[in-house]
Every structure is written in C-alpha cells, then in structure tokens.
Amino acid sequence: MVGPTQSRIIGLLSDGVPRSFREIVRLTGLGERVVEGALSRLWRSGLVLRSEVPFRERSRVFRGRAGVSSTTRSYYLYVIRPGDVDSLRIDGVLFVKYDEGRFRRRGKSKARIILDFLREHSDQAFYSSQLARLLKDQGVKPSDIMVNVRRFERKGLVYVRGYRTHDRQTPFKEGYLITWIDQEKPREKALEEAVEKTNRVLSQRASTNPVIERVHMIRDQIIEAAKLRDIVSFEFLQNKLGCSLYEAETAINRALQLYPDIKTIKLFNNYRYYYHASMPEEDLKAAIKMKENYIRKVKSRENRIGHNWEAAAEFFIDTLTTGAKFWTQKHRTKGMDPRRITIHLIKPVAGRRSNAEVDRVWEVTPGPLLKPTIYVLECKWGLIKKENVDQFFEILRWSKEFGVDTPDGRKVKQGVIGVFAGSSFNPKEKVKLKDETEISLPTYAARMNIQLLKASDCNKKLRERGVPKSVTVQKICRKAKNEKEVREILETIWNNPKKSEEIIAKTMKRNKDLYEFEKMLKNN
C-alpha cells in the first residue's frame, strides 16, 4: 500500500525525468527525513529505479565575510519504473531496481562501514579526515564521510562538532570532530559523554571558538614574556595571531575582560604594551625602559623621513618610467606594498641571512625582439657612502633572482641594473682602486652597473613642472606624516604646481602634533 508521501513522490517522478534526493525535497516541499525514508521504501518495493552508481558534485557556497566554502557530495538519481523492467538507461545513466541479493554480495555499504566503526569505537572521537584515513582500505573516500555522517546526525546517532561562531559551525583544520552517541543511555547523559569525548581530543587545541582561541594564545604569550622579563606590544600580538587589526583588537579586549592578571600600559601615551601581574616591579621597570629606548630609535624623526624618502623615490620611478612592467608580490604583513619585493639570498650579506627587501623591481623591453632590462631600486636617506653601494651590489650578486655563477665567480646577471636612490652623495668621497687610482663614487657605482638617483635629480623634475624652489623633495619628506601622505603631496603638486607652497603649509599645520611628539621622544 502506497502512502500519501510516496504517492506525492510518484506523481512528481511520473514524467520520467530522473531527479536527485535534493530536487525531490525542493519540488515536493517535504522534509528531508520524510523523503529519505519514502524513497528507500519505493526503491525496495520496486516502484522506482535508482542510478547504479552515485554521482559526485563539487559545490562552492559564498558565505559573506567568511569567504567561499567548497564541498563534494555524493547523490543518486531516481526515476519511475516503467512496467516490469529491471533496468533502464537514460542519457547513458543505468538505473536498476533494488536486488537484495545483489547488494548483499557487494558487502557492507560505505555508510554501514562508517557507522559500525563509530559504534565499535564509541569511547573515542575522530576527525572526519582521520576517519577517511582509517577506512581507506575498505573503500571509503573522504567525500563519503560527511555526506553519511550528516544523515547519522539527523537520526541522532552521532555528535558532530566544529568551530562555533555566532550563526554557524565550521570544520576544524582536520575536519569536523565526530563521535558515537550511546543509544542505551538517557539522551542528556549520552550527549554529555559525547561532548566530553570531543573535549579530550580538543585538549590538544586551544578552543572551538576562534576568538577564545586567540585569547588563550594572547595570555600564553604574555605569561611567556613575563618569564623572560619582557612586555609585549600590540603589533607583536597581532603578528603572532596572524589576524586582522579588528580581530586582534577584539581578542585583546576580550582577554583583558576574562583575565584580570593581564595588564596594559601606554608608553609615551601612544604605544600599547601588555604584561602579566606576576612580573616583579623591578623587571617591569627595566622592560619599560628598554621598550622606550626602542621606540625612540624606531619611531624617531629620522626613521619617518627615511621611509618617506622611499615613497618619494618610488613616486618618481612610477611617474617617469614609461613602458615599465613592475613586479608584484604577496606579503604576509597586511598593508605592505605588493611592489616591494623580497628576494632570496644564497649567502648572508650584511646581517641579512636568507632574505632581503628591495623597494621596486621593474622590467623595460626596448623592442619587440630585444630582451627586457630589469631595474632594481634601493632607497636610503642621508649621506651615501661607498659601503652602502657595496652592500647593495652584494645583495644583488648573492640573490637567487639577480645573481649568477660564472667561471670568474658570482656576478650580477646581464640585463640587471641596480638603482640606488639616496638623498645625497658625498661629492668629495673618492674610491681607491687596486692600481691606486682614485675615482668618484658615481663613477665607481657605474662600473658595477648601478645608477645613482639623487634628491636633486627629483627636484630638477619638479622645477620642470613649475614647482617653486622653496618646495623640495627633502622638505616634503621632512614634513609629511608617512609614506601615504608623501605620495598624496607629490601627486597633487605634480598636477597643480602653483599650489605647492600652500600644500606644504597645510601639511606643516596638520602635522604639528607629530613634530612635538618626535621632539619629546628625542628629549626624553
């Protein structure tokens, strides 16, 4: 006897079009468990045929800020059985009726293999990827795990655990955590035991919640620093967590709420540092003094101007180089210019062990049949000496990207030209060669195929655009707050030279507090 649910499904399939389980659920409006049971009964009773082998489909689902998730699911197609036929082929797909003897000869289904394994190891919890590895010899594939586990979960047979966020659950790095729910015990007790089994597995991990996981890592880092008689900065914690600024702020604020023994302090009323309450007062004072000295060095006026000069040199290279193809590179540090390139060294150079950074790399192809010329830019503020040029040359020579081994030793590849941008070069400095002759620094650099770019060269280009002599690249670097502001100022005066002095005056007024802060750092 066919019930109303089965009649509804038969009516849908009566047009002879093969349909999947999900299509039937959507078109009938029935619940998944209801359709699942009805389809099984219809197939076993011989009223419908099922595809002999399952289909596999990879789907991508957009989840907003969480990105795109990708899953692989297996499914069968169902079609109404016409008359007494035992099999039917539609568009190359073979549909067969249920044959108990045939399916028994095939051995246990994959679903049964997974379920029996979880039942037999009911005292343990397993990651989905771990289950796939353990059951691989029995023909179970990774794509078979979750499609069956979700059915077991709907029937209340297993407990599935993942990261719990505000509105959804996502898998751990190793997949979802799965364990058997004891059917013979009271439901509340059985679920409590299932949670405890997953807790034992997760004891090796920080947490099931990304925020709490970061909170635990923050506290661990602060306790570790206290043992080392040190305090940690906000930037250090953010880099350690490997998350965005907003995520780091959220996690640190949460850590301060949950753990009163985590303390915060602001150095120079601007830079945040964190320490543990167990840290002795003498050690804390010493650590604070060391950090203040570090801030004076790193956050000083000279450091700011040096970075600003890099931005200025890069602006003129970007603006005046035509037909150039700039190299780009993804960086772990967010906000870092993708055109700033990290190169690999095969030999340490001037304290750099395995990597070095260059400010720009670009290619220029002179003609359609000619090889491109590669330019590598290095910037430095202050008076440039021979040792600075030598160091840059050694970096190029010993880099994997720009150096090459020759019978005469390691050399810079042909077609690679270094560009050293300095605010000024010592005009009196002479370089003594092996034959005791002396040459100027520009001539010495040219022999190594390194071009020198001076601030005066940039000022010359500004004059050609009509910018008055009172506005110089050096002045822009000294007055701008950061690299971004340098680019904005240069872009504006390049396009509107007549307003150059007005723009500099506004910049000085806007950054007055910054100059006072730098003065305070210098005097403290």
Q: Which amino acid is at 502?
A: E
Least confident of 67-71, 257-261, 347-351, 466-470: 67-71
Average pLDDT for residues 422-450, to the nearest whole number? 81
Structure tokens at 42: 């219809």
Confidence tier at 466 by pLDDT (50, 70, 90): very high
Establish if 484 belongs to a structural domain.
yes
Parent domain of 250: 210-299
Q: Is the dihedral of CA 30, 70, 148, 202 positive or negative?
A: negative
> Among the three residues 244, 271, 299, which one is the final residue of a domain in this structure?
299
Residues 283 and 334 in one domain: no
- Alpha-carbon distance of 524 to 514, in angstroms, equals 15
- 3-state SS record for 289-322: HHHHHHHHHHCCHHHHHHHHHHHHHHHHHHHHCC
Residues 347 and 427 in one domain: yes
Residues 307 and 289 in one domain: no
* Helix, strand, coil abundance in the chain, percent, nearest 5: 45, 25, 30
Establish if 173 belongs to a structural domain.
no
Establish if 58 belongs to a structural domain.
yes
Structure tokens at 182: 């004891």
Q: What is the average pLDDT value for the chain, to the nearest integer?
A: 84
The candidate with the shortest Cα–Cα distance to 350, out of 398, 385, 401, 418, is 398
Close Cβ partners of 521 (under 8 Å, ≥ 6 residues apart): 268, 295, 296, 299, 300
Confidence tier at 335 by pLDDT (50, 70, 90): low
CATH number, domain with residue 397: 3.40.1350
Residues 371 and 469 in one domain: yes
Residues 43 and 65 in one domain: yes
Residues 434 and 358 in one domain: yes
Residues 376 and 491 in one domain: yes
Residues 254 and 318 in one domain: no
Q: CA triplet 84, 85, 86: central angle to 5 degrees?
A: 115
Residues 263 and 325 in one domain: no
Residue 105 clears pLDDT 80, i.e. is over it? no
Higher pLDDT, 1 or 444: 444
Establish if 192 belongs to a structural domain.
no
Q: Which helix (H) or strand (E) holds 512?
A: helix 512-523
Residues 350 and 483 in one domain: yes
CATH number, domain with residue 51: 1.10.10.10
Establish if 234 belongs to a structural domain.
yes
Establish if 452 belongs to a structural domain.
yes
CATH number, domain with residue 270: 1.10.10
User: How far, in Å, are 40, 270, 456 from residue 483 at the CA level?
Assistant: 67, 20, 19
- How many domains is the chain partitioned into structurally? 3
Establish if 149 belongs to a structural domain.
no
Residues 389 and 437 in one domain: yes
Residue 102 clears pLDDT 50, i.e. is over it? yes
- Alpha-carbon distance of 33 to 50, in angstroms, equals 18
The candidate with the shortest Cα–Cα distance to 461, out of 281, 313, 326, 351, is 313
Establish if 277 belongs to a structural domain.
yes
Residues 280 and 375 in one domain: no
Q: What's the pLDDT score for residue 143?
A: 87
The candidate with the shortest Cα–Cα distance to 123, out of 208, 30, 196, is 196
- Predicted confidence (pLDDT) per residue in 54-98, tens digit: 888 777 665 555 556 666 777 889 999 888 888 888 888 899 988
Instruction: Assess contact for 310 and 483: CB atoms under 8 A.
Output: yes
- Predicted confidence (pLDDT) per residue in 159-206, tens digit: 998 876 556 677 887 889 999 999 888 988 989 999 889 888 876 554
> Among the three residues 269, 299, 329, which one is the final residue of a domain in this structure?
299
> Among the three residues 75, 103, 131, which one is the final residue of a domain in this structure?
103
Give alpha helix (H) positions in 401-499: 441-447, 455-464, 473-479, 483-495
